[in-house]
Amino acid sequence: MEIRQLRYFLDIARTEHLTQSAQNLFVTQSTLSHGLRQLEQELGVALFDRLGRGLKLSQAGVAFRTYAARALQEIEAGRMALADMGALESGSLTVGVIPTFLHSLVPAAVAAFSSAYPGVNVVVRDLRAGPIEEQLVEGQLDVGIAFYPTEREEIETEPLFEERLQLVVNRAHPLARRRTLALKDLAGVPLAMLPRAFTTRRLIDESLRAAGVVPLVRVEMESVEGLLDVCRWGDLASIAPERAALQAADLHAINLHSPGMVRHAGILWRKGASRSRAALEFAALLRP
């Protein structure tokens, strides 16, 4: 079994298409097909079900994917350990970040890391909390940055800071004169919110439910920055993490009276996995 075969398999598992994976990996389609056949012959199972021109992971492929990703991550960690001896002059670092921190916490750390270690290629993936945990477990990420507690036992978290959720409105909004607000006062206030698939939205809904408030949600968007833009141009309010609110100086942020309106940010690691010096150095840049 060769490393390139594992790379072929994992990319095809992601794209489910030989032509696309061949382009991604800069190899011919025949080379890719041959490598995949060799891997399947060695394992003695079909890793994919052939569906017309596409491919779909078989049951065996689904089971093997996690181990293949972990194997590559360990190999990369070993390569980075050797690179560490050369003062991080080469290698790569892949970071998963929830959208909330992509525009506030992470850019400065990425810039500082790149300046200190220009030979290390940094890849930052914009992901929700669930996929961050999943990709950490599968070995596709070196480190994650998200809110906790996490859903998966295979993840361990290093606390960073607490962050309040605030009501955000434009300067002409009827609530723009308020500095604080009780949750019960949100009854009847038109809101623009994240969808219920987001952990932050579920936390907000639980807090409002405890306060006896049924939120009047008129708009749902999958981007906090998009929600803030909606607030700029209309009469809607939104509930956003304070770091995101601070980035919108033209809007007015109102503190909400509720102990439940607090999120805990942390650095996420796969439990028991090797941590390269690159990941450790990057994590150090995130700490207060």
Residue showing tokens 């996490």: 150
The confidence score (pLDDT) of residue 151 equals: 85
The confidence score (pLDDT) of residue 121 equals: 92
Confidence of residue 176 (pLDDT cuts 50, 70, 90): very high
Is residue 175 within 8 A of residue 253, CB to CB? The reply is no
Is residue 268 within 8 A of residue 128, CB to CB? The reply is no
Question: Is 276's pLDDT higher than 90?
Answer: no
The confidence score (pLDDT) of residue 81 equals: 65
CA gap 263, 145 in Å, rounded: 13
This prediction's pTM: 0.67
Confidence of residue 84 (pLDDT cuts 50, 70, 90): low
Map out the domains of the chain with their CATH numbers. 163-263 (3.40.190.290)
Question: Is 159's pLDDT higher than 60?
Answer: yes
Q: What is the pLDDT of residues 86-117, one digit of tens each?
A: 567 778 899 999 988 888 889 999 999 999 99
CA gap 97, 55 in Å, rounded: 29
The confidence score (pLDDT) of residue 197 equals: 86
**Separation in Å, CA 150 to CA 53, 203, 223, 239:** 38, 13, 21, 22
Question: Is 55's pLDDT higher than 90?
Answer: no
CA gap 160, 33 in Å, rounded: 45
The confidence score (pLDDT) of residue 82 equals: 66
Residue from 173, 169, 152 nearest 240 by CA: 169
Is residue 164 within 8 A of residue 256, CB to CB? The reply is yes
Pairing of strands 216-220, 252-257: unpaired
Residue showing tokens 């993490």: 241
Confidence of residue 243 (pLDDT cuts 50, 70, 90): confident
Return the structure tokens found at 47: 């890793």
Residue from 178, 256, 162 nearest 211 by CA: 256
Q: What is the pLDDT of residues 109-158, one digit of tens each?
A: 999 999 999 989 999 999 988 899 989 988 889 999 999 888 888 999 99
Q: 178-213 burial, b if ≥16 CB within 10 A, otherwise e?
A: eeebebebbeebebbbbeeebbbbebbbebbeebeb
